[in-house]
Amino acid sequence: MSTKDFLEKDYYKALGVSKTAKPAEIKAAYRKLARKYHPDANKGDASAEERFKEISEAYSVLSDEKRRKEYDEARSLFGGGFRVPTGQRPGQGGFGGFDLGDIFNNTGDGGGLGDLFGGVFNRGRTTTQNRARRGADVETETTLSFGDAIDGTTVALRLTGEGPCPTCHGTGAKAGTVPRMCPSCQGTGQSSRNLGSFGISEPCKECRGRGLVVDDPCPECSGSGRAMSSRTIQARIPAGVADGQRIKLAGKGAPGERGGPAGDLYVRVHVKAHPVFGRSGSDLTVTVPVTFAELALGAEVKVPAHRGAPVTVRIAPGTANGSKFRVSGKGVRRKDGTTGGLIVTVEVMVPKDLNSKARSAIEELREATAGADPREELLERAKGA
């Protein structure tokens, strides 16, 4: 049983007694009805069972002096209570999407109706405690520079979301007033029309399906009870995030209600391309141009590193074009504190224009290395297939 139950259900009516009935009268009424609708006496009758539950619930509250008082208080505060369509719970699509819970769950910083009711009910049972609700998960995205993605960074994220209006705490009513049950639909939010042999149900025109009418609307939200708000948070993006990765920032989502925990924030990260470096997991990649002579004769070449000064890579004589070298410690920091490497790929640059000296030297080289056709074996192998 919750605050809502108290407002939705007429326990006196369920037992067929008056609001001023004495305890003995309530007990007698309960006994009579309980015998009549007891499941043992009505095997398989679902409506009898439903009625039996209703009677039991009503009796459990009205037979307890303290709880009966709380119940009476709650209903007098809200003028008789709301009715919720059968089978629909507030906050689950009933009331045409309006969440009745919002009226009682004050997300503001105190002083709302939630507190009022919390005060009423916490004197008795802790029925309102289980009304704590976790905030919604929120998803957003951010674009990082290549370097920030590798090193980690802090970004400011602007989050916009719809929540209860802070001015009226979601009731839609002007300060000092409360919404009342829609008299046209009795709070169901639905009105039925009879069309000959069948009836159709449509959202109540009077309250636009909300089940509540506001006589004096909150000027801030024009009575809707909802408001868009935005907040900016500083989010720490860990080192080493990859393009397209979704990062979970626990507890940074929408705030919880009535002491419930905040939801989580998911940040989809886009990483800008770098003009020189690429990424392969926790390794950085770079392609470095070299000359034929450097590969053939061996050399020490300087290659750029993401952090700090260029590093020197030693190329052994006779290194094949496209060979890869790994420079450890110059990659992306991993979660465990270790760092990936820099993968260097060497690529021979063939000069477009040769001066005469270079041309004659290469011609000399051609003479000196003339001999077996380097493609001979390839051509042989191709035939065999």
Contacts with Zn ion, residue ranges (CB under 5 A): 165, 167-168, 182, 184-185, 204, 206-207, 218, 220-221
Closer residue to Zn ion, CB minimum distance, 151 or 206: 206
Return the number of the residue (211 or 341) whose C-beta is nearest Zn ion.
Answer: 211
State the number of CA atoms in the 13 A half-sphere of 279 facing the CB: 18
Q: Which amino acid would we find at residue 186? A: Q
CB of 105 to Zn ion, least distance (A): 15
Whether 284 contacts 306, CB under 8 Å:
yes
* Coil, helix or strand at residue 33: helix
b/e sequence 39-63, b meaning 16+ C-beta within 10 Å: eeeeeeeeebeebbebbeebbebbe
Rounded least distance, CB 341 to Zn ion, Å: 57
Q: What is d(CA 362, CA 366) in angstroms, rounded to the nearest whole number?
A: 6
Query: Which residue number, 70 or 257, has a Cβ lying nearer to Zn ion?
Result: 257
Residue with Cβ nearer Zn ion (185 or 346)? 185
> Which residue, 204 or 313, is less far from Zn ion as judged by CB?
204
Please state the closest distance from residue 182 (CB atom) to Zn ion, in A.
3
Q: How far apart are CA 252 and CA 182, in angstroms?
A: 37
Distance CA 364, CA 19 (A): 115
> Which residue from 107, 103, 99, 123 is spatially nearest to 258, judged by alpha carbons?
107
Question: What's the CA gap between 253 and 262, in Å, rounded?
Answer: 6
CB of 189 to Zn ion, least distance (A): 6
**Residue showing tokens 């008082």:** 69
Q: Based on CB atoms, which residue is closest to Zn ion, 33 or 168?
A: 168
Q: Which is nearer to Zn ion, 225 or 341 (CB)?
A: 225
Query: Is the four-CA dihedral 190, 100, 129, 64 of positive or negative sign?
Result: negative
Give the rounded distance of the alpha carbon of 39 from its chain centre.
44
Please name the residue that has the structure tokens 């002491």: 259
> Amino acid identity of 311?
V
- Tell me the closest approach of the beta carbon of residue 203 to Zn ion, in angstroms: 8
Nearest distance in Å: CB 256, Zn ion: 21
| The dihedral sign for the CA sequence 298, 299, 303, 307 | positive
Beta carbon of residue 264, minimum distance to Zn ion (angstroms, whole number): 27
Grouping H, G, I as helix, E, B as strand and the rest as coil, residue 368 is helix
DSSP code per residue over 79-118: TT-----TT--TTTTGGGG--THHHH---SSS-SHHHHHH
User: In terms of CB distance, is 204 or 249 closer to Zn ion?
Assistant: 204
263 contacts 256 by C-beta, under 8 angstroms: yes
**Nearer CB in complex with Zn ion: 149/165:** 165
Residue of 348, 215, 363, 359 whose CA lies nearest to 294: 348
Q: Return the number of the residue (218 or 313) whose C-beta is nearest Zn ion.
A: 218
Between CA 13 and CA 75 the distance in angstroms is 13
- Residue 186 beta carbon to Zn ion: minimum distance, rounded to whole angstroms: 8
Least distance from Zn ion to the Cβ atom of residue 233, Å = 24
Least separation, in Å, of the C-beta of 71 and Zn ion? 25
